[in-house]
Amino acid sequence: MTGVKDLLETATNGSFSLEAGGSRYRYGVYGMVVSSDTPLDLPSEADGGVARVECVSAPAMAFLAATDRGGYDGDTDSWYRYVVLGDGSTYVRWRTIGEFLVSADGRRVMFRRFDQASLESFQVYLLGQALSFALIRQGFEPLHATAVVVDRHAVAFLGSNAFGKSSLAACFLEAGARLLTDDLLILGESRNRIVAYPGPPRLKLFPKIARRFLGQDALNRVQMNPDTDKLILPIEEHRRQGRPVALDAIYALTPPRDACRVPSVRVESLSPREAFLELLKGTFNRRLTNQPRLQRQFGLMARLTNRVAVKKLSYPRSIDRLAEVREAVRADLVRDACPALNNQPGILD
Amino acid sequence: MVSFSERLTVAPDVLFRLVGDEGVLLNLNTTLYLGLNPVGTRMWHALTSASSIQAAYNALLGEYEVEPAQLRADLEEFIQRLLGQKLIVAGPALDASHEPA
């Protein structure tokens, strides 16, 4: 067992690698193997992964040591703090949730859950925002998107917070689609196709949406954080997709401020240049803008633009119109369907 | 204003990619992204591969049905915008014998 003293020393040295054996739980998410010294609500590792991340719990003193040394000014009461420390590691904290330290190479995440945070809420931040720093450090380029599987192919909804991605996904689940990932989408290339990897099996929804589309009551559900009514809803196995899937299309959602001016559901094709810029706007965690990442983004988005249909999806933000949006997307997918592609399995064996 | 006898090159730390028939640019120093429509993309190629701006102008004049004065004005405006965003740098023209075939 690694003691506090060891944690302090390793953190102070800027390399908080903990002893092997501390991370005895192994999971598969985003196409990666996540090992942890604490149980997480994730599927077990199935067949390896394209990368590895080790998550290790640590006491407050370990974070103090690292941030003191890294020149972090912790004297603030803001909800969210993020800083790149002197050794290249990243410290990130949410006031009522927890704190995280991501190593410079993205292979290790040290975490501490604050007392007032529920385990479910904490895991949303660990496996979303905090893990995104690790993924980016390892050379992945996550998109801010929620994806569902329709007819064995993945469809992604791209947009920032509060754009309606999860609500639209819930509406698709009501009609038999499966959830692939919520909020953070990792893409890869396999057999000359763009593939999308499964994320944690949960959706974050407002109670009204959960009740309407998933038939789930808000009772006994956990809030995402104290400042929102959004709930964290585990998705049952028959409603989720556990394997990577070929990505068919990306729909960039209109910002909510523009949606109020949209009288009807509209799917618009984008020029390659417009598609490229939409994808760039939809990258996850845009705070990290170092040159290697920008170069990588530039190359990936150009490849994506040339290989995946990217469209603009506009619709009035009303729960009563979501089924209409779903049908418009389904019709658009059928219109664009390529016979040659349809003969290929979307779900990778 | 840059002279048409000068040559333009892509600034260091600027990336260009073709997506479909359109171009996208990234200035790594300013983190500015820019999209070019098909005509802008052709202008970019002509300007950054020719031995001088005048040579690019001559090439474009042969490709587009446009009044010479209009093309000159459009090119000048385009070049000013590219220079303003530090996407290109101006320098002495290459010897005409170095121009790509």
At residue B37, the pLDDT reads 93
Residues A104, A167: one domain?
A: no
Which burial class, exposed, middle or buried, applies to A191 when counting CB atoms under 10 A from its CB (0-12, 13-18, 19+)?
Answer: exposed
Beta carbons within 8 Å of A61's beta carbon, 6+ residues apart:
A4, A7, A8
- Interface contact A302, partner B, CB < 8 A: yes
Which DSSP category does A18 fall into?
P
Residues A133, A147: one domain?
A: no
Residues A175, A279: one domain?
A: yes
Residue A25 has pLDDT above 70, yes or no: yes
Rounded to whole angstroms, the Cα distance separating A344 from B52 reads 50
Please tell me the least confidently modeled range out of A18-27, A115-124, B54-63: A18-27
Cross-chain Cβ contact B28/A271 below 8 Å: no
Q: Which of A206, A197, A183, A170 is nearest to A323 (CA)?
A: A170
Q: Which of A137, A154, A175 is the last residue of a domain?
A: A137
| Mean pLDDT to the nearest integer, A123-142 | 95
Rounded to whole angstroms, the Cα distance separating A194 from B101 reads 38
Cross-chain Cβ contact B35/A295 below 8 Å: no
Q: Which of A106, A137, A168 is the last residue of a domain?
A: A137
Most confident stretch, A71-75, B27-31, B71-75: B71-75
Residue A148 has pLDDT above 50, yes or no: yes
Q: Tell me, yes or no, whether B55 lies in a domain.
A: yes
| Mean pLDDT to the nearest integer, A204-231 | 85
Domain at A230, CATH number: 3.40.50
At residue B72, the pLDDT reads 96
Q: Tell me, yes or no, whether A15 lies in a domain.
A: yes
At residue A185, the pLDDT reads 97
Residues A131, A223: one domain?
A: no
To which residue do tokens 């329709």 refer?
A150
Q: Tell me, yes or no, whether B95 lies in a domain.
A: no
Chain B residue with Cα closest to A279? B33
Q: pLDDT band at residue A340, thresholds of 50, 70 and 90?
A: very low
Q: Tell me, yes or no, whether A155 lies in a domain.
A: yes
Q: pLDDT band at residue A135, thresholds of 50, 70 and 90?
A: very high
Q: Domain range spanning residue A276?
A: 143-341
Q: Tell me, yes or no, whether B2 lies in a domain.
A: no
| DSSP states of A63-117 | HHHHHHHHT-------SEEEEE-TTS-EEEEETTTEEEEE-TTSSEEEEEE-TTS
Could you read off the pLDDT of A177-198 as tens digits, one per residue?
999 999 999 999 887 889 999 9
Q: Supply the mean pLDDT for chain A.
A: 86
Residues A64, A152: one domain?
A: no
Q: How many domains does chain A have?
A: 2
Q: Tell me, yes or no, whether B67 lies in a domain.
A: yes
At residue A342, the pLDDT reads 44
Residues A117, A13: one domain?
A: yes
Could you read off the pLDDT of A253-291 as tens digits, one per residue?
999 888 778 889 999 999 999 999 999 999 998 888 888
Q: pLDDT band at residue A165, thresholds of 50, 70 and 90?
A: very high
Q: Tell me, yes or no, whether A39 lies in a domain.
A: yes
Residues A169, A310: one domain?
A: yes
| Mean pLDDT to the nearest integer, A22-37 | 90
Beta carbons within 8 Å of A194's beta carbon, 6+ residues apart:
A187, A188, A246, A247, A304, A307, A308
At residue A219, the pLDDT reads 63
Contact A152, A241 (CB under 8 A): no
At residue A45, the pLDDT reads 82
Cross-chain Cβ contact A306/B19 below 8 Å: yes
Predicted ipTM?
0.74
Residues A51, A192: one domain?
A: no
Q: Tell me, yes or no, whether A348 lies in a domain.
A: no
Domain at B41, CATH number: 3.90.930
Q: pLDDT band at residue A72, thresholds of 50, 70 and 90?
A: low
Cross-chain Cβ contact A272/B22 below 8 Å: yes
At residue A226, the pLDDT reads 81
Residues A257, A109: one domain?
A: no
- Interface contact A275, partner B, CB < 8 A: yes
Residue A347 has pLDDT above 70, yes or no: no
| Mean pLDDT to the nearest integer, A241-254 | 95
Q: Which of A40, A102, A37, A97 is nearest to A67 (CA)?
A: A102
Could you read off the pLDDT of B8-65 as tens digits, one per residue?
999 999 999 999 889 999 999 888 889 999 999 999 999 999 999 999 999 999 999 9
Nearest-CA distance from A74 to chain B in Å? Answer: 28
Q: Which of A311, A325, A182 is nearest to A241 (CA)?
A: A182
Residues A257, A133: one domain?
A: no
Cross-chain Cβ contact B19/A299 below 8 Å: no
Residues A118, A241: one domain?
A: no
Nearest CB neighbour to B37, from listed A273, A276, A289? A273
Q: Which of A137, A171, A190 is the last residue of a domain?
A: A137
Q: How many domains does chain B have?
A: 1
Helical H runs in chain A?
Answer: 4-12, 60-70, 119-125, 131-137, 165-174, 207-209, 256-259, 272-281, 291-307, 322-336, 339-342
Q: Tell me, yes or no, whether A347 lies in a domain.
A: no
B60: left (phi over 0), alpha (psi -120 to 50) or beta: alpha
Q: Angle CA(A169)–CA(A173)–CA(A178) in degrees, nearest 5?
A: 95
Which pTM does this prediction carry?
0.85
Q: Tell me, yes or no, whether A328 lies in a domain.
A: yes
pLDDT above 70 as % of chain A? 87
At residue B101, the pLDDT reads 43
Preferred mutation among B13, B17, B32 to probe A, highest tally of A CBs within 10 A: B17
Nearest-CA distance from B31 to chain A in Å? Answer: 8
At residue A12, the pLDDT reads 37
Q: Check residues A223 and A172 and name the one with the higher pLDDT.
A: A172
Residue B82 has pLDDT above 80, yes or no: yes
Q: Tell me, yes or no, whether A216 lies in a domain.
A: yes
Q: pLDDT band at residue A125, thresholds of 50, 70 and 90?
A: very high
Rounded to whole angstroms, the Cα distance separating A65 from B17 reads 44
Nearest-CA distance from B22 to chain A in Å? Answer: 6
Q: Tell me, yes or no, whether A75 lies in a domain.
A: yes
Contact A182, A166 (CB under 8 A): yes
Q: Domain range spanning residue B64?
A: 7-88
Residues A213, A336: one domain?
A: yes
Residues of chain B contacting A305 with CB distance shorter than 8 Å: 19-20
- Interface contact A295, partner B, CB < 8 A: yes
- Structural tokens at position A181: 């990932």
Q: Tell me, yes or no, whether B39 lies in a domain.
A: yes
Q: pLDDT band at residue A2, thresholds of 50, 70 and 90?
A: very low
The pair phi, psi for residue B25, each rounded to 5°, is -125, 145
